[in-house]
Structure 1
Amino acid sequence: MRRRFIQCDVFTSVPTRGNGLAVVVDSGGLTDDDMQRFAAWTNLAETTFLLPPTDETADYRLKIFTPSREMPFAGHPTLGSCAAWLHTGGVPAHAGLVRQECGVGIVEIDISGPVPAFAAPPTRIAPMPDAERNRIAGQLDLAAERIVRTAVLDNGPVWQVFELGSADDVLAADSAKVSWPQFKAIGLIGPHVPGSEFDYEVRMLAPSSGMSEDPITGSLNAAIARWMHAEGRLNGDITVSQGVSIGRAAASTSDATPGIRTGS
């Protein structure tokens, strides 16, 4: 059977500066092993597979794989796969809204505006154990006085997040010092100076894709937005930059509307 796949560049308007994604459009008949092997072959951060939904309220079902494992949810694969589904003739049941079925359930994607945005899935927020905080901070040489707060965030993937004093602190971290699986999904966020093009700088270190860090991570940014909102620190739109350290120029915006939306 001939199958179609589309390569997308997500969270950027400049080709090759965002996060690459392969979307297999005709995935019927593929096993999970087939999908995993194909994802390893593409060697992109994620590869996705479009399937008929099993939930009658969904427009399509999505399976998401890194080169080494399946993910229940991820942000840039959600937006890129939605764009590929629409490009290949998909028509949502409700105008302006696509409903994607994936490992965390139904994710709604608003396509009514100039750029698509997904409703951030519910996020479990927990304190980071002191031992893990100290282990990661020590490995990355994060000075204690530059760590503002930490948390473990779970919205399908699990993120160990450090909020640092500034964007410069985030950019100074050496991603070569941490790798998966010894260290798993470390998120760093720090504010840019007022008046900058972006509000925050974000990095995601030790991804399971085999890269030193992720170019841009929609699910991490969605989890951070949920964390900030839960603490009363997200009162309007925020725009983050990510990927600078590896030569990318990607950005995402989160807002504090009901459900919290994260978009490209």
Structure 2
Amino acid sequence: MDDFVSESDSDYTSYWRDWFISSRGNEYFCEIDEEYLTDRFNLTGLNVEVQYYQYALDLINDVFDLDCDDEMRETIEKSARHLYGLIHARYIVTTRGLAKMLEKYKKADFGKCPRVQCNSHPLLPMGLSDVPNNKAAKLYCARCEDIYNPKSSRHAGIDGAYFGTSFHNILFQVYPALVPAKSAERYVPRCYGFKVHAAAALVRWQNGKRDEMKRRLRKMEIDSGFRDGEDEECEESDEDEELDEERKDLEASETRSAH
């Protein structure tokens, strides 16, 4: 920014978009075509979202000629960056915008998935909200279908509304051949070569529910439909439970008599 401000006014207004795209932290953005910026229809409603909207738009379009102090210029510059981001969210879902973002995606300009099983699959920027100043930009992996935080703090501060919640999905709708095969590989926890998982706990829970259902059916004198061996096991468990209940009642009565 300091290098840019030190240039002459003509340079300042002649290369604003080039400067913005090449600035550190703005690598996620693509350059918006001048034809799109000069079409008022594409900018509908943005005048109420941005302070000094017309001055900011003039700065983006390289026709800014207002003679103002440094503080005012900095305010307009901030508004121009915000306005560019809002226009960018609309532009990247157009045919031309999708093509530009696709080229950046193929070159992995947005980074690669940190998940080991995704084998460094390229990421896409996305927003969790279309409302400005609400959520920061995230990175989406189409292989594992999960989202991640940008590694760089410069990218982590980008507003997610500058990419929107639909861009990454629209890209794969327009280019279905790019949809990657979902990763079937999953990390399997092991201890000394033996798998560690929650299947055993699930089986115990299912067995408990089944035994409970069989006891309820037997009390209602309804045929459970289970095999005889399973019913005998259930009866044994019922007898054990009854013995436990009798033991608890006996202990409770002894406690009361002692008092």
TM-score by length of 2: 0.26
Larger Rg computed on CA atoms = 2
Higher strand fraction (1 or 2)? 1
**Larger relative contact order, structure 1 or 2 (CA cutoff 8 Å, min sep 6):** 1
Higher helix fraction (1 or 2)? 2
